[in-house]
Chain A
Amino acid sequence: MATHDRPPSRLRWRTVDIVVLATVGAVFGLVFWIWNLTFAAVSGVFAVFPPSQAVMTGVWLLPAVLGGLIARRPGAALFCEVAAAVVSVLLGSVGGMAIILLGFAQGAGAEAVFAATGYRRWGTGAAMAAGVCAGATTTLYTLVTAYPTWPLSFMLAFGALTAVSGAVLAGGGSVLLHKALTRTGALASFRTAPGGAR
């Protein structure tokens, strides 16, 4: 690799970016699998007003925001979320290809926010905005695939709650997770590590 003549690019992907994001995606694929079961198990609680279960959506958006925060590279959010979706399908999530497309939509939502900052802002604000935007694409996709007959008021409530869940669980949750991960030293090969500058 031509890393001797020029400093490593801020935007170029290294092998460790690819493999660690794929691994984080795989762990979240397992989490998705558990969360899918939990979601189905507690859906009775939300039966009074089904759109209210959208508050649980944020967990599915975590790898997108967290992936962006870890690698800080173009495509990191998209890649991590799609990897999680692919792994959860290969582990036997019953949504099949629809889940992978949903992963694309969610990853692209978060990615759009990071891209809009020119991949330069990675604070709590950017993370929460990414969670909201990933929630917006999720809303669009879920309403089209799963609940096309709902009245408009239900759809709007679903969208609003998904956005809140995306901001709090995926945005805020990712920031806390990233802080905790940095403290353990596991992210030593990334730019955010103390003293790390790649």
Chain B
Amino acid sequence: MSASPGTRPAHGTPHGAEARPGGPAAAPPARAFLARTNPAAKVLAAVITTIALLPVLDPVGSAVVLAAGLALLPFSGVRARVLLLVGGPFLLMGASIGVVNWLFGDGGPLLAVGAAVRLMAIALPGVLVAMTSDPTDLADALVQRLRLPERPAMGVLAALRLIPLLAAQWRMLTLARRARGMEAGRNPAAAVAIFAGKAFALLVRSIRTGTMLAMAMDARGFGTGERSHARVSAWRAADTWFLVGTAVLLCAAHALGIAAGTWQMLFS
């Protein structure tokens, strides 16, 4: 977990992004509006976008939402290298959905493009949430603002903290197998067998680690009663306005789709 906010003296820095309690070590730049938005607001915005776009097949409205999501990228505080890394698979997903719906669907090219753009418009907000939110902040916001059950949320957060450990164990398993002379060489069947063995060993390792972690959490009184919060997830006016803006955008997107005559309910 990150350092408690009270222990960090403010050396005369103005209260801005860097004074944010419980945040990631590197403060987001002032332009990173999306990184400073409460994760609960971002999750809610992504959820209402999904609900609003799911029942309708509309290339125009979906394109409006997708464009708005892309317009937020410069304000996400995500580095260009990361954007390129995620952008490739993202575009590939959209393209493959479009091609499959076009070649094998009943709706013709326009609806195929609509299906691809719609799926990307649904996916992008969630990707933005994941890229711009610190996992600890996200868990705090979900528990304190959206009243998600605390024990499961903290459990997932704890498991997330184990992932770097699992990566290290994966490397160790690889080295151990190499030391024992188990190498696949050019044999793909042997490669699959070694991979499956390593994956199973990792699963065993992770269950043992999780069991010990649970014991340690029990010893510290986890889940025995009401918890207080070291980090407060603050909701600002900007977060409310962010949600209002999302709702307005979704209404406008549907209105534009209806006006353009491309709006139709799914499977109708």
Contact surface of A with B, Cβ cutoff 8 Å? 1, 13-16, 18-27, 30-31, 37, 40, 43, 50, 79, 83, 86-87, 89-92, 94-101, 144-151, 154, 177, 180-181, 184, 186-189
Contact count band on B = 35 or more
13 A-B residue pairings within 8 Å (CB atoms):
A19-B211, A22-B158, A40-B89, A86-B156, A89-B126, A97-B46, A97-B123, A148-B57, A148-B105, A149-B105, A149-B107, A177-B200, A189-B211
Measured in the bound complex, the distance between the Cα atoms of B41 and A187 in whole Å is: 38
Contact between B122 and A24 (Cβ–Cβ < 8 Å)?
no
**Quick one: closest A residue to B135, CB to CB?**
A90
Q: A97-B47, A98-B50, A149-B106 are in contact. Are A23 and B210 (CB under 8 A)?
A: yes
Give the contact stretch, choosing among B12-20, B111-119, B254-262.
Answer: B111-119
Contact surface of B with A, Cβ cutoff 8 Å? 43, 46-47, 49-50, 54, 57, 85-86, 89-90, 92-93, 96-97, 100-101, 104-107, 111-112, 115, 119, 122-131, 135, 151-152, 155-156, 158-160, 162-163, 166, 199-200, 202-204, 206-211, 213-215, 217-218, 222-224, 266-267
Interface of B is mostly: helix
**Quick one: closest A residue to B123, CB to CB?**
A96
Using Cβ atoms and an 8 Å threshold, which residues of chain A touch B224? 1
Using Cβ atoms and an 8 Å threshold, which residues of chain B touch A187? 207
Partner of B130, one of A14, A16, A23, A92: A92
Using Cβ atoms and an 8 Å threshold, which residues of chain B touch A91? 163
Measured in the bound complex, the distance between the Cα atoms of B76 and A50 in whole Å is: 36
**Quick one: closest A residue to B89, CB to CB?**
A94
Measured in the bound complex, the distance between the Cα atoms of B159 and A23 in whole Å is: 5
Contact between B115 and A151 (Cβ–Cβ < 8 Å)?
no
Using Cβ atoms and an 8 Å threshold, which residues of chain B touch A154? 104
Contact between A16 and B122 (Cβ–Cβ < 8 Å)?
no
Contact between A27 and B211 (Cβ–Cβ < 8 Å)?
no
Measured in the bound complex, the distance between the Cα atoms of B94 and A95 in whole Å is: 10
In this complex, the member of A1, A27, A87, A96 whose beta carbon has the largest number of chain B beta carbons within 10 angstroms is: A96
